[in-house]
A and B are shown apart, each in its own frame.
Chain A
Amino acid sequence: MSELLSVSALALMLSLFLGLLRVVRGPGAGDRMLATQLIGTAGVGLLLVLSVSLKQTALIDVALILALLAAVAAAAFTGQQRGTGDD
């Protein structure tokens, strides 16, 4: 199981890293935000795997908060302000 957890952590980190390339590359703001969502999901997965492999149960709570706040970030990105002629 320990090997599997190590492999999972690295695979999730790789996934996060690929998402990072898209965040840096863009081209549009929407693409970057999308990639940020992927980084968030990969981060949630990585936290869950780390919570088992580092024996830190509390990291599950961190994963929950990260998942919830990723939704808040997406909402903040798409909210339209009144009276500014927002895009």
Chain B
Amino acid sequence: MNTTALLVLDVLLVFSLLSLAAAALATRDARRSVILFMAFGLVLAVAWARLLAPDVALAEAAIGAGLSGALLLAAVREQPRRALSGDTKPIHSRNDAGLKVTLQWTVTLFCVALAAILAWALTQAFDSASKDALAQAVSANLAASGVSNPVTAVLLNFRAYDTLLELAVLLTAVLGIFALGPARSGYRSAGPVFDGLTRWLVPVLILAAGYLLWVGAHAPGGAFQAGATLAAAGVVLRLAGQRTIGLPQGHTLHIVIAAGVAMFLVVGLSLLVLGRPFLGYPPALAGGLILLIECAAMLAIAATLVLAFLGGRPQPPSVNPAGAKPGALSISMLRSRSREFPSDTDSHNAESCRGFNEEKNRC
């Protein structure tokens, strides 16, 4: 591709990003804002691809363009008018209005100043000579990392502490979500077209997740992208009104959520016992250990993101299928073809009363 064409592409991409961000933030309509944000995520994925960051583009395509949009849309849908619109208090006097304008200008000026400082710092960073030291260190040690994709090597080997703590952050977030209340009420059973979509999309998503996990060792991909793709399968099942969405129940669920952190700690501590530094893999075993950790991390990330979409503690269904194994996440997704019937008013009421708000309202 010649330089001029690339330049035109860059200008158009940047302009699209800026105008979408501005449009998403300018509107007062929550749903419009969310849809514009989803479009922003789509364009951002293309921008990452253009900047030769395919790993990031994969994550953005799965999360930015898909999952976080689904998450925000579910929030908009649940509280159509009231809660999320916050405290828009009417302005009582002219004095208040004046104060508000002053505040707005102050904040705007602050933000502009911040952007200017950031831009200045950025030009310094671009000019600094030592910027390649880290990249060179990564490529020098890549052969000993057990994988050939440098981003996976950084995430799971060179900076494995970061990823361990990141999984701990995810665990904390999901525990917070659990503590805040039960899950949102479920979805109505979808029509035949939606069902047809579910029937092929869910297996393909699961397959794609497995593929991304596997290629992550030598090509863009890995546990994060795979986990997000797997979570998308659960989200689609939930949206289609399926009763089971592949999440295990009870203690098994707790094990799956903690699997990423737990596997990291098990591997790290075992290495410590064997006389190596914490998470300092022996080069011969590094590839296998990384894959092991990534499998657990993928399941934990997928479960976390599905629970994030549910928005709370999942309610146990009336019959608790015993004996689901922690690894059975994707398998039980495939098995779950049980449908709920919208005409069944009893189950309809029972389901809606599970929602946190409805619990106090109607039951």
Contact = CB atoms under 8 A, between A and B. Distances in A.
Contact of B77 (A33, A36, A81): A81
Interface in A24-58: 24, 26, 29, 32-33, 35-36, 39-40, 43, 46-47, 50, 53-54, 56-58
B83 interface: no
Interface string A49-75: 010011011110110111011111101
Interface residues of B, number: 72
A76 B74 contact: yes
Contacts of B215: 61
Majority-rule SS of B interface residues: helix
Contacts of B232: 68-69, 72
A82 B243 CA distance: 13
Interface of A: 2-3, 5-7, 9-10, 13-14, 16-17, 20, 23-24, 26, 29, 32-33, 35-36, 39-40, 43, 46-47, 50, 53-54, 56-59, 61-62, 64-66, 68-73, 75-84, 86-87
30 contacts: A13-B8, A13-B12, A17-B12, A20-B39, A24-B19, A29-B32, A36-B38, A43-B45, A43-B46, A46-B46, A47-B46, A50-B49, A61-B215, A62-B45, A62-B220, A65-B62, A69-B229, A69-B232, A70-B42, A71-B197, A75-B197, A76-B69, A77-B35, A79-B187, A79-B240, A82-B241, A82-B351, A84-B77, A84-B185, A86-B77
Interface of B: 1-2, 5-6, 8-9, 12-13, 16, 19-20, 23, 31-32, 35-36, 38-39, 42-43, 45-46, 49-50, 52, 54, 57-58, 61-62, 65-67, 69-70, 73-74, 77-78, 80, 184-188, 190, 194, 197, 201, 204-205, 208, 211-212, 215, 219-221, 225, 229, 232, 235-236, 239-241, 348, 351-353, 355, 358
